[in-house]
């Protein structure tokens, strides 16, 4: 029985680590998608009006429109502006609008997942407290989760360094059920506004949030181990028999 409880405590620690870092990732993605100023600043930092065709003064409003759409505060993904000749410019094609509809669906899923993961994390924390006498096993499970997460990140990093395009393609094929994400920079303003460097920058922000949470979990696990919480040990059957006599 004691061995089973130690294993359960270890599994709880392992699952809690992944629940917390997944919550950090989902919450950060959702918050970034709704940050109008950040989107505008990052688009302007990674592109220029000469490349995108969007006047410099229109970037803040474009960021506002994109964030509102992703958060469901508006129904249409479209932006209009008047060029220097007084002509009305329609920025996005139906192809780009359909792709952003898929993106909004994913952002909505991230928003829902953060609450689900927060609830799962709370349940696991309560379960860990109930098994607090098996703190060392819990800590070992969390450390095992930390090492597994680091290994996954290293594999993805190595993949990205060897071929970022392949990683980018695999990521999109995993998340999208159609080919709408394949855009042409010659005709599609969306990919000119958000080039690969834009997504790398946003990805780094998500990664930093995940790393911060993972390090907190690692520190907590090491602290529990160093406190030397004693765990109930199974008595050898022979010793128990002698005591019974």
pLDDT given for residue 27 in this prediction: 97
pTM of the model: 0.85
User: d(Cα 165, Cα 157) in Å, to the nearest integer?
Assistant: 13
pLDDT given for residue 168 in this prediction: 80
pLDDT given for residue 166 in this prediction: 84
Q: How many domains does one find in the chain?
A: 1
Within a domain: 240: no
pLDDT given for residue 228 in this prediction: 59
Within a domain: 51: yes
The residues, ordered by sequence, that sit 6+ positions from 143 with a Cβ below 8 Å of its Cβ are: 13, 218, 221, 222, 225
If DSSP codes are grouped into helix, strand and coil, which group holds residue 237? helix
- Tell me the per-residue pLDDT of 84-121, one tens digit each, with 9 for 90 and over: 888 999 999 999 999 999 999 999 999 999 999 999 99
- Backbone φ and ψ for 80, nearest 5 degrees, come out as -125, 145
pLDDT given for residue 243 in this prediction: 45
pLDDT given for residue 238 in this prediction: 43
Evaluated on CA atoms 209, 222, 220, 217, the torsion sign reads positive
| Average pLDDT per block of 10 residues along the chain, 245 residues long | 90 96 97 96 94 94 96 95 89 92 94 97 95 92 95 88 82 80 88 91 93 95 78 47 43
The residues, ordered by sequence, that sit 6+ positions from 72 with a Cβ below 8 Å of its Cβ are: 104, 108
Within a domain: 242: no
Burial of 92 (0-12, 13-18, 19+ CB in 10 A): buried
Residue 82 β-bridge partners: 88
DSSP string, 66-87: HHHHHTTS-S----EEE-TTS-
Q: Read off the tokens for 53.
A: 């065709």
How many other CB atoms sit within 10 Å of the CB of residue 176? 16
Residue in the block written with tokens 């395009």? 165
Within a domain: 9: yes
Within a domain: 245: no
Within a domain: 139: yes
- Do the beta carbons of residue 234 and residue 169 sit within 8 Å? no
The residues, ordered by sequence, that sit 6+ positions from 22 with a Cβ below 8 Å of its Cβ are: 113, 117
pLDDT given for residue 159 in this prediction: 85
pLDDT given for residue 245 in this prediction: 42
**Which of 217, 153, 164 has the alpha carbon at shortest distance from 195?**
164
- DSSP class of residue 236 equals P
Q: Which domain holds residue 151?
A: 2-234
**Which of 18, 7, 9, 15 has the alpha carbon at shortest distance from 224?**
9
Within a domain: 239: no
């Amino acid at each position: 029985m004691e061995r089973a409880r130690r294993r359960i405590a270890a599994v709880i620690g392992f699952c809690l680590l992944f629940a917390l870092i997944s919550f950090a990732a989902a919450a950060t993605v959702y918050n970034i998608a709704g940050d109008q100023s950040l989107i505008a600043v990052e688009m302007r930092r990674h592109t220029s009006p000469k490349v995108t065709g969007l006047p410099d003064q229109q970037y803040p409003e474009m960021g506002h429109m994109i964030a509102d759409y992703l958060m469901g505060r508006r129904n249409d993904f479209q932006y209009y502006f008047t060029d220097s000749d007084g002509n009305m410019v329609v920025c996005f094609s139906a192809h780009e609008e359909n792709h952003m509809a898929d993106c909004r669906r994913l952002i909505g899923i991230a928003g829902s997942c953060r609450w689900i993961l927060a609830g799962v994390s709370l349940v696991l924390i309560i379960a860990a407290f109930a098994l607090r006498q098996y703190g060392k096993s819990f800590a070992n499970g969390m450390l095992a989760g930390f090492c597994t997460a680091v290994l996954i990140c290293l594999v993805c990093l190595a993949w990205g360094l060897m071929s970022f395009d392949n990683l980018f393609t695999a990521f999109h094929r995993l998340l999208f059920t159609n080919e709408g994400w394949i855009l042409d920079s010659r005709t599609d303003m969306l990919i000119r506004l958000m080039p690969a460097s834009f997504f790398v920058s946003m990805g780094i922000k998500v990664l930093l949030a995940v790393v911060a949470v993972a390090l907190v979990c690692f520190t907590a696990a090491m602290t529990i181990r160093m406190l030397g919480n004693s765990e109930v040990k199974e008595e050898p059957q022979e010793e128990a028999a002698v005591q019974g006599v």
